[in-house]
Structure 1
Amino acid sequence: MGNLILSGGGNAEVYEFLMKFIDKDKPILYIPLAGNEEYRPFQESLAYIKSIFLPLGVKEVTMWTDLHHRTLGDLERFSAVYFSGGSTLTLLRIIKETNFDKVLRQYFHGGGTIFGQSAGAIIFGSDVTHTTTEEEVSRYEPLNLVHNNRLWCHYDVHDEGLLRKYSKGEGDPFLALPDGGAVHVTERQCEVIRKVAYEFKDGRRKELIPDGYF
């Protein structure tokens, strides 16, 4: 069974949770493509990710910046795939246009572990139109692996009004994750693993406590 760990923003305890599911002797695959390389070079981002995982006992972190022609066999070399934050639309566009979304689904359903942070988490929800005003976003269906929930990251109380508004009607509920908050998703269930998360549905907010399933 695959494991999908989604974080509203990085936290050491969330990374330690990831360690439960991986073989530290196999490399972690890092994909920084939501980021803006002009603002922060990918090699600098890789160095930062290594500074997190190597002290936790991971032997190697490998970075991919080209997703063309990647296969399930390529992914199976890695203990986990890590997506960092940035632009949700940029990341989703690249994944869909290279057909990497199909490979990710195979990897997850075959028992692979995926970690997504911020934009790297939102692409696994059921809809991303709330993340941008660009009309182009409607062309790219997200992966919808979070049991028909939309993801909202970096949540704080200032977002509550918008989420109550956006969640009214018949759309999928929002799963709102604060910085440092995270959920663990399998094909069967979702579990809050760090900090209180929130479900917004039909304009109402519900607390989801750590170690609780929803």
Structure 2
Amino acid sequence: MGTLFLSGGGDRKNTEKFDEEFQRQIGQAKPLLYIPIAMDGIIPYADCLQWIRDVFNPLGIHEIVMRTDFHRKSVDDPQQFSAVYIGGGNTFHLLNEMRNSGFDKVLEEYINGNGVVYGGSAGAIILGSNIMTSAHLDENRVGVQDFSGLDVLDGLAVWCHYESGDDETIRSYIIDFDTPVIALPEESGAYFQDGHIKVTGTKSVYLFIGEDKVELQPGAEFNFSGSDEHDAQAILGKQQPFNDAVGHMLSIEGYPAAGNYKNLETMPKALQVGGYLFVGLMAILFVSIVVVGWVLQ
């Protein structure tokens, strides 16, 4: 299985930290293959090529080959490159072009053969289980009926350009499609290999599983497998500490439980009893003050 870089999108300043990590992974021995087809009809391809040069030339990647036609490409084609970069744009158009040309199968074989793929926004979404995570941003102008992605992320769907105001829409999506979601804000991303995910960038990534929302800060690593029960508490238990100091803290304090932390019923029994006693005493004190004040009037 290859290595997949999933970027939340944004301009080159937003993805700078993530792009640096990508460059360290692939090196400079081979050229980078750039596929901007999701931008067809949105931004001229010449501008797309200049954009990616502006992103990666300062990082030492100077050989960049742009392809704007998927047709007549064999599975051997991506092998001559250090990695495949699939840029953002309209997700429905991108997936439609990949399917019509058969490049979706070429890319799957490349990934299964240890290829490296960077997906930016739409390019990340098509790697997930379902592309309807883009429906709030992209118009399905090509009439895609099958919304299945390449599904090379062990069942995860990818939500890009994430903002906290998206939470209710994400939960509605989960109800409709019954699939967990990794939500990537701009300035952050994650890379995925054989069920192991590492968060990188400058902002937290969020994992939505059922009704649970788990925050994963930059540097967090955890294992996620589609064969496991999709349970947020299990994911929390699989997180790796960022460093020895954090590991020590977690061993003493433990991980927070997933779900509604503010609900008193989720607390340990001793804390529940103490909480009820405190609230009761405060109520009695308040009533006593009111009564005494009334008597003294």
Normalising by the residue count of structure 1, what TM-score does the alignment of the two structures yield?
Answer: 0.92
Q: CA RMSD in A?
A: 1.8
The within-5 A match list for 1:1-214 is: 1-10=1-10, 11-37=15-41, 39-132=42-135, 134=140, 136-168=143-175, 171-194=178-201, 195-212=203-220, 213-214=222-223
CA distance in 2, matches of 1:167, 1:173: 7
**2:183 counterpart SS class:** strand
**1:59 counterpart SS class:** coil
Give the superposition deviation at 1:97.
1.0
CA distance in 2, matches of 1:127, 1:205: 19
**2:129 counterpart SS class:** coil
**RCO comparison, higher one (Cα < 8 Å, 6+):** 1
Are the structure 2 counterparts of residues 211 and 90 from structure 1 closer, same or farther at C-alpha, using a change threshold of 3 Å? Answer: same
Supply the AA of the counterpart residue of 1:21.
Q
**2:152 counterpart SS class:** coil
Normalising by the residue count of structure 2, what TM-score does the alignment of the two structures yield?
Answer: 0.67
Give the superposition deviation at 1:201.
2.0
**Structure with the bigger percentage of helix:** 2
- Per-residue CA shift, 1:69-104, capped at 9, x if unaligned? 111221111101111111000000011111111111
**1:34 counterpart SS class:** helix
**Structure with the bigger percentage of strand:** 1
Count the aligned residue pairs: 213
Overall identity of the aligned pairs, in %:
36
User: Is the Cα–Cα contact under 8 Å of residues 25 and 59 in structure 1 kept in the other structure?
Assistant: no
Are the structure 2 counterparts of residues 203 and 166 from structure 1 closer, same or farther at C-alpha, using a change threshold of 3 Å? Answer: farther
User: Is the Cα–Cα contact under 8 Å of residues 3 and 184 in structure 1 kept in the other structure?
Assistant: yes
User: Is the Cα–Cα contact under 8 Å of residues 163 and 203 in structure 1 kept in the other structure?
Assistant: no
Supply the AA of the counterpart residue of 1:77.
Q
Supply the AA of the counterpart residue of 2:32.
I
The answer to which of 124-133 and 100-109 deviates more is 124-133
CA distance in 2, matches of 1:72, 1:23: 22
CA distance in 1, matches of 2:213, 2:148: 26
**Which of the pair has more CA radius of gyration?**
2
CA distance in 1, matches of 2:177, 2:78: 36
CA distance in 2, matches of 1:9, 1:170: 23
Give the superposition deviation at 1:129.
2.5
Give the superposition deviation at 1:163.
1.4
Q: Which runs of 4+ in 1 moved over 6 A?
A: none
Give the superposition deviation at 1:169.
6.9
